[in-house]
A and B are shown apart, each in its own frame.
Chain A
């Protein structure tokens, strides 16, 4: 499968714990994006990378959230001291450069914070 993959698909954690998600983009794509979708809403942008550089961060990305893409390939999203409001679907997407280049999405990681 050469699509975008995410791991894990589901994560249940207790409030206050740290969690880390991984995204493996399509190999030739230099851009990688993180989005979050909560119930009844569309996906909301969190951050994106071009190669290993983090170029834009949303105001939604509080200081408890950190994302990395150390070698310009896979990316990790860490949430520290999780809160119940962090419960959501976390989606990763990748693309090549350019307006007409589609963002290809992974299946998402569903986080439930108890």
Chain B
């Protein structure tokens, strides 16, 4: 059984705080790791696709790292803003087909 685990399940922070989430995935048969941001009533939005061990990607205040040997990825948000409130999903891509998603981390940023 392939399991993708995300922690924490939910997170409440104040505006301006920096925060990070963890995604752990099987370290064998790795193909890619995807991060998505999903706001209520909207489509999940792709943040990063990471394929190489040691990859670090950045988009504005959000960045992600990847360790395929130990099977984890971190997502960092610097200086959280209320508009960052969403569920952050990671997904393990083990083949050319489907993604295996974690349950997500629900982030709430209070002004």
- Are A and B associated in one complex? yes
A33 touches B49 (CB 8 A): no
A103 touches B99 (CB 8 A): yes
A42 to B25 CA separation, bound complex (whole angstroms): 14
Answer whether A103 and B34 are a contact pair too, CB < 8 Å, given A42-B89, A42-B101, A42-B102. Answer: yes
A103 to B46 CA separation, bound complex (whole angstroms): 8
Interface-lining segment among B12-20, B37-45, B74-82? B37-45
A48 to B98 CA separation, bound complex (whole angstroms): 7
Size bin of chain A's contact surface: 20 to 34
> Which residues of chain A have C-beta atoms less than 8 A from B41's C-beta?
107
A29 to B83 CA separation, bound complex (whole angstroms): 30
Q: Which of B42, B43, B96, B104 contacts A42 (CB 8 A)?
A: B104
User: Does any Cβ of A come within 8 Å of B109's Cβ?
Assistant: no
- Shortest CB-to-CB span from A40 to chain B, Å, is 7
- Shortest CB-to-CB span from A78 to chain B, Å, is 20
- Shortest CB-to-CB span from A59 to chain B, Å, is 12
> Which residues of chain B have C-beta atoms less than 8 A from A100's C-beta?
32, 49, 51
- Shortest CB-to-CB span from A29 to chain B, Å, is 13
> Which residues of chain B have C-beta atoms less than 8 A from A45's C-beta?
97-100
Question: Helix, strand, loop or mixed for chain A's interface?
Answer: loop
A3 touches B43 (CB 8 A): yes
> Which residues of chain B have C-beta atoms less than 8 A from A43's C-beta?
44, 89, 91, 99, 101
User: Does any Cβ of B come within 8 Å of A4's Cβ?
Assistant: yes
> Which residues of chain B have C-beta atoms less than 8 A from A101's C-beta?
49
> Which residues of chain B have C-beta atoms less than 8 A from A4's C-beta?
43
> Which residues of chain B have C-beta atoms less than 8 A from A42's C-beta?
4, 6, 89, 91, 101-104
A105 to B46 CA separation, bound complex (whole angstroms): 8
Q: Which of B43, B96, B103 contacts A41 (CB 8 A)?
A: B103
Residue of A nearest to B46 (CB): A102
Residue of A nearest to B90 (CB): A42
- Shortest CB-to-CB span from A65 to chain B, Å, is 15
B100 touches A99 (CB 8 A): no
> Which residues of chain A have C-beta atoms less than 8 A from B89's C-beta?
42-43
Report A's interface with B, CB cutoff 8 A: 3-4, 33, 35, 40-45, 48, 55-56, 58, 91, 97, 99-108
